[in-house]
Chain A
Amino acid sequence: MGDPLTQVNALATSEAPKKEVSTGAKVLAWMADNGIFVLTAVLIAVAVIGVEGFASLQNIADVFHRAAPIGIVAVGMTFVVISGNYLDLSVVAQVATSAVILIAVSNEYGYVPAILAAMVAAAVFGIVNGVAVGYFKANAVIVTLSTTYIGLGLLRFFSGGSIFFGPYESPLASFGAGKLGPVPYSALVLVAMTVLLGLLLSRTNFGFTVRSFGVNERATRLGGTNTGLVIIGAFLVTAFSAMIAGFVLAAFSNTAVSSMSTGYDFRALAAIIVGGTSVFGGKGSVPRTLLGVVFVSVLTNVLVLLNISFGYQQMALGFLIATAVSIDALARRAGKK
Chain B
Amino acid sequence: MSQTQTIQLGTRTTGLWSKLKVTIARRTEGRGVALLSAVLIGVLLTEQTVFTAYSVTLSRIALVGLVALGLTVVILMGELDLSVASTLALAGVVTASIPDLGLGILAGLAVGVVVGLVNAFLVAVIGINSFIATLGMLFFLRGLALVISNEAPIKLNNVEAGIAFGQPLLGPITPRILVFILVFIGLQIFIARIRVGREFLAVGGNRQAARDAGIPVKRRIFTGFIISGVVAAGAGVMNTLERTAADPIAGSTVLLASFAAAIIGGNYLKGGRGSVVGTLIGAASLGIIQVALTLAAVQVPIQQIFIGLLLLVAVTTDPNNLRAVISSIRTLRTGRGKVVEPATSNRSTSS
Contact = CB atoms under 8 A, between A and B. Distances in A.
Name the residue among B137, B301, B328 with the largest chain A CB count within 10 angstroms: B301
Interface stretch (B157-165, B229-237, B256-264): B256-264
Which secondary structure dominates chain B's binding surface?
helix
A139 B315 contact: yes
Given A136-B324, A314-B146, A319 B140 contact: yes
B298 to A, nearest CB: 11
A82 B7 CA distance: 42
Interface string A129-146: 000101111110111011
A318 B143 contact: yes
B206 interface: no
A135 B325 contact: yes
B1 to A, nearest CB: 35
Contacts of B324: 135-137
A147 to B, nearest CB: 7
Given A137-B321, A157-B302, A321-B136, A149 B311 contact: yes
A26 B236 CA distance: 46
A217 to B, nearest CB: 11
Contacts of B146: 309-311, 314
Contacts of A55: none
Interface bracket on B:
35 or more
Interface string A145-166: 1111111111111000000000
Nearest to B151: A311
B139 A314 contact: yes
B143 A313 contact: yes
A86 interface: yes
Contacts of A146: 307-312, 315
A89 B311 CA distance: 14
A150 B136 contact: no
Contacts of A151: 308
Contacts of B322: 136
A143 B310 CA distance: 10
A273 B132 contact: yes
Interface stretch (A36-44, A235-243, A322-330): A322-330
Interface stretch (B46-54, B64-72, B120-128, B219-227): B120-128
B143 A149 contact: no
A143 to B, nearest CB: 6
Given A226-B332, A317-B139, A318-B138, A139 B301 contact: no
Given A319-B140, A321-B139, A141 B307 contact: no
A136 B325 contact: yes
B196 to A, nearest CB: 26
A235 to B, nearest CB: 14
Given A136-B324, A145-B311, A266-B135, A322 B305 contact: no
A156 B263 CA distance: 27
B135 A145 contact: no
B118 to A, nearest CB: 9
A141 B320 contact: no
A139 B260 CA distance: 10
B311 A315 contact: no
Contacts of A136: 315-316, 318, 321-322, 324-325
A315 B144 contact: yes
Which secondary structure dominates chain A's binding surface?
helix
Contact of A154 (B264, B300, B301): B301
B24 to A, nearest CB: 21
B129 interface: yes
A30 interface: no
B343 interface: no
Name the residue among B129, B132, B269, B303 with the largest chain A CB count within 10 angstroms: B132
Nearest to A149: B308
A151 B307 CA distance: 12
B299 interface: yes
Given A136-B322, A273-B135, A143 B122 contact: no
B308 A150 contact: yes
Contacts of A312: 143, 147
A316 interface: yes
B301 A157 contact: yes
Interface in B258-306: 259-260, 263-264, 269, 299-306
A221 to B, nearest CB: 8
Contacts of B136: 318-322, 325
Contacts of A139: 263, 269, 315
Given A136-B324, A143-B315, A147-B312, A153 B138 contact: no
A333 interface: yes
Contacts of B312: 132, 138, 143, 146-147, 150
A98 B151 CA distance: 32
B176 interface: no
A280 B131 CA distance: 10
Contacts of B320: 137
B122 A157 contact: no
B137 A325 contact: no
A318 B304 contact: no
Contacts of A332: 127
A26 B272 CA distance: 36
B308 to A, nearest CB: 3
A150 B309 contact: yes
A314 B136 CA distance: 9
A313 B133 CA distance: 18
B324 to A, nearest CB: 4
B170 interface: no
> Which 6 pairs of residues, A with B, have the shortest CB-CB distance?
A318-B140, A314-B143, A149-B308, A311-B146, A318-B139, A153-B304
7 contacts: A132-B312, A138-B316, A146-B307, A310-B143, A319-B136, A325-B132, A330-B127
Interface of B: 122, 126-129, 131-133, 135-147, 151, 248, 256, 259-260, 263-264, 269, 299-312, 314-316, 318, 320-322, 324-325, 328-329, 331-332
Given A142-B315, A150-B312, A318-B141, 20 more contacts: A135-B324, A136-B321, A139-B263, A139-B269, A141-B259, A142-B264, A145-B259, A149-B311, A156-B300, A157-B299, A226-B332, A228-B331, A270-B135, A311-B147, A314-B142, A315-B139, A319-B140, A321-B132, A325-B136, A330-B127
